[in-house]
């Protein structure tokens, strides 16, 4: 997903990903979505946030620790690219800069995902969080890192943050300078 790295708050939850089919909290393990914000209710990352972490329902996790994830950096860029890989065998990962790749939190080893797509709200249909979403994709299965890097290169080439990616203005061509992106992947 591509989102704004500067538009967020500490409330729950501006999510994108797999969620419950009825917009009701069906309990832990019923979601697997990307959260961007700085809520400290569950596991928080370094600094003041925002962080890219996984919403697994009834918990936000940047790692298996329920309170602190020191490898989850504060997003310091106007745009962020985040990818969440939910794997079988009780693991998940955040990519492109791998901030976590390991065991799921306790009681989240076996997921009960329902397959709905959520955007901008929490699994219980709350809308307290703030954020800006630009685009995203959900796929079945997990792609290797080379494919993810190609996707990232394509996103950078799109020219997010430029007034024009390459526009003609008054008989001259201006090409935007590439912008910095925060790359974070949870696998």
Asked whether the predicted pLDDT for residue 183 surpasses 80, the reply is: no
CA distances from 113 to 29, 123, 129, 131 (A): 7, 11, 22, 24
CATH of the domain at 23: 2.60.120.200
Single out the catalytic residue among 20, 32, 57, 148: 57
pLDDT interval class at 95 (50, 70, 90):
low
pLDDT at 171 (0 to 100): 35
Asked whether the predicted pLDDT for residue 77 surpasses 90, the reply is: no
Range of the domain at 59: 2-186
Mean pLDDT over each residue of the chain, to the nearest integer: 81
- Residues 62-83 have a mean pLDDT of 87
Q: pLDDT (tens digit, 9 = 90+) per residue, 125-138? A: 888 999 999 999 88
Q: In what order do the strands lie in the sheet with 32-37?
A: 60-61, 51-55, 32-37, 15-19, 116-119
Indicate the range of 131-140, 144-153, 174-183 predicted with least confidence.
174-183
CB 12 within 8 A of CB 129: yes
**57 part of the active site:** yes
CB 26 within 8 A of CB 57: yes
* Total domain count, the chain: 1
Asked whether the predicted pLDDT for residue 168 surpasses 50, the reply is: no
């Amino acid at each position: 997903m591509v989102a704004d790295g500067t538009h967020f708050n500490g409330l729950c939850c501006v999510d994108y990903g797999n969620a419950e089919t009825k917009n009701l909290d069906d309990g832990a393990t019923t979601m697997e979505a990307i959260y961007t914000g700085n809520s400290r209710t569950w596991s928080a990352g370094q600094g003041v946030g925002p962080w890219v972490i996984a919403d697994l329902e009834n918990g936000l996790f940047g790692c298996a620790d329920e309170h602190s994830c020191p490898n989850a950096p504060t997003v310091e860029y106007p745009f962020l690219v985040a990818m969440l890989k939910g794997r079988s065998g009780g693991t998940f990962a955040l990519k492109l800069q791998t901030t976590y790749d390991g065991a799921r939190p306790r009681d989240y080893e076996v997921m009960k995902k329902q397959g709905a797509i959520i955007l901008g709200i929490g699994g219980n249909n709350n809308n307290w969080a703030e954020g800006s979403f630009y685009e995203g994709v959900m796929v079945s299965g997990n792609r290797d890192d080379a494919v993810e890097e190609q996707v990232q290169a394509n996103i950078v080439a799109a020219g997010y943050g430029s007034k024009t990616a390459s526009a003609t203005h008054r008989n001259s061509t201006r090409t935007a300078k590439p912008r910095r992106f925060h790359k974070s992947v949870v696998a």
